[in-house]
A and B are shown apart, each in its own frame.
Chain A
């Protein structure tokens, strides 16, 4: 859906999405890194289980909700990637303990 412009010379940062290594760039938000990757980043909603991807990318819509380093319901569009970060695509509502 999106690709990186060749002029982007930022250093790579490796994150893991459901255990699979994904190359992000320093300064990417988690949501941007997911949309730039080839992974199926669709979460499913808590109400009906409908698939969603980020809609606003500016912290207002909450369609980017994702589990980051074991913590659920994080707004992926507001969190910058970090080396070794563990991202899980969140299916349904946040689970207790996450």
Chain B
């Protein structure tokens, strides 16, 4: 396994308030890491450190095995997909223009290649081709999120950062989008860092789940492991509901391993 992202003793503070203290984490290639925790626990901060939107106060962050400290931040970001909460599509651009935003930053000349990429990604995220010329205001919430994902993926990055991308859509659409993103992950083998405050979403999507509280890692493990061996009280409490989905008593939890908590693939 190849290491894609590595945090080495990272410290980050906003003025007096320390958000991350001695944060270390390794993400292997092809992992789908969901980061879950209460708001203000530092999960969004950790995400923004990866593409250099925030700079650490201490420690190192390695992407593709290299420290990003001395890297060209703009180039770095172009090779990392980024999708964030709510509708932050560019309202003055069409669906096509939104999706081809990063490809256009990368290769201005090759219009044909860009057009093909747009078509390919619209298909992958499940957008109808006749939506190309639409503006974001003319799309439903779910369609907007799909465009957001296509935009993040359009330049075929190897890493995708997502910050509560499904926070603003209804329950049914969210379920569909969750299924889509899992499918995209398994199709492309992309490494995903996915921030959410919803433990069920984290458990459903992640190949590994990172539980954070007050800037510290509570546990970093597979969803099964989280259920079986919660490392701390915080994790136990957080996963209590998930654990009880199978409605068996605690001492027989191991029998619950494939009871639906761990997805049915």
- Decide whether A and B assemble into one complex: no
Q: Which B residues form the contact surface with A (CB < 8 A)? A: none
Residues of chain A at the chain B interface (Cβ within 8 Å): none
